Amino acid sequence: MQLQLITWPEVETYLARSKGIIVPIGSTEQHGPMGLVGTDALCAEIVAGGIGDQIDALVAPTFSIGMAQHHLGFPGSMTFRPSTLIAVLRDAVTSLVGHGFRRIYFINGHGGNVATVQAAFAEIYAEYSLRGEAAPQGLRCKLANWFTYPNVMKLARDLYGDAEGSHATPSEISLTWYAYPETAQKRVLDPARAPDGHFTDAADYRATFPDGRMGADSSLANIEDGKRLFDTAVADGIADYKRFLEE
């Protein structure tokens, strides 16, 4: 159930039975020669949508721009400053809380978002504490990375081993290809598995990882794996979301 596709009376009816909402968050950044620029946002959206469809949970609009300054050396990449993303998330969550939502479950598709999203949660709680008020009863915010769900991690290791890498991974590309098969395009990559290492700013990243990948062999991606990863992520996500609602 997508928030964008229902009316306000339907939201009111939903709140009478559930105080939880799923919020996909990702990034708009390069994903090597084979991955879509929207991969991180799309993966979060795909998994969130699957969970929502299976258990009739409400899914908010996707936050498609995240923390991606180090990818700005590649055309198409976009980023927020940490302070901007914190402000955006604070306002969005505060809006939902004002309507009666109490369990805000973020499904994340981009590792670079983690620290900033957690900082946004701290800012939200601090608003109440600094005013000497208690937060609304039951209010909890949680960040869950679809790619670190336990069975997803196991499946990715089984499928790709060390060639999974850490950026432009075959697992995330496979998931997007499953949802959007018309975008699947095989390429010969040289080297097949990209180098790994450290980086600082966008110029350093581009110099260290010239085609955008980090430690990954994106050529291993395929639609069939994407279906398995989708089913696994949705199952893991449903279990985790239900636990969160019951805390």
Residue-wise pLDDT tens digits, 17-74: 999 999 999 999 999 999 999 999 999 999 999 999 999 999 999 999 999 999 999 9
Task: Assess contact for 236 and 150: CB atoms under 8 A.
Answer: yes
Exposed, middle or buried by CB within 10 Å (0-12, 13-18, 19+), for 120? buried
Q: What is the pTM of this model?
A: 0.96
For residues 76 and 29, give the distance between their C-alpha atoms in angstroms, rounded to a whole number.
Answer: 7
For residues 156 and 169, give the distance between their C-alpha atoms in angstroms, rounded to a whole number.
Answer: 9
Per-residue pLDDT band at 145 (split at 50, 70, 90)? very high
For residues 188 and 183, give the distance between their C-alpha atoms in angstroms, rounded to a whole number.
Answer: 16
Domain of residue 187, residue span: 3-246
CA atoms lying within 13 Å on the CB side of residue 102:
15
DSSP assignment string, 30-84: -BTTTB-TTHHHHHHHHHHHHHHHHHT--BPPPB---S-GGGTTSTT-----HHH
By 3-state DSSP, what share of the chain in percent is helix, strand and coil, each rounded to 5? 55, 10, 35
Token couple for 63: 């936050």
For residues 228 and 222, give the distance between their C-alpha atoms in angstroms, rounded to a whole number.
Answer: 10
- CATH code at position 88: 3.40.50.10310
Per-residue pLDDT band at 164 (split at 50, 70, 90)? very high
Its sign, for the CA torsion 114, 116, 119, 125, is negative
- State the total domains in the chain: 1
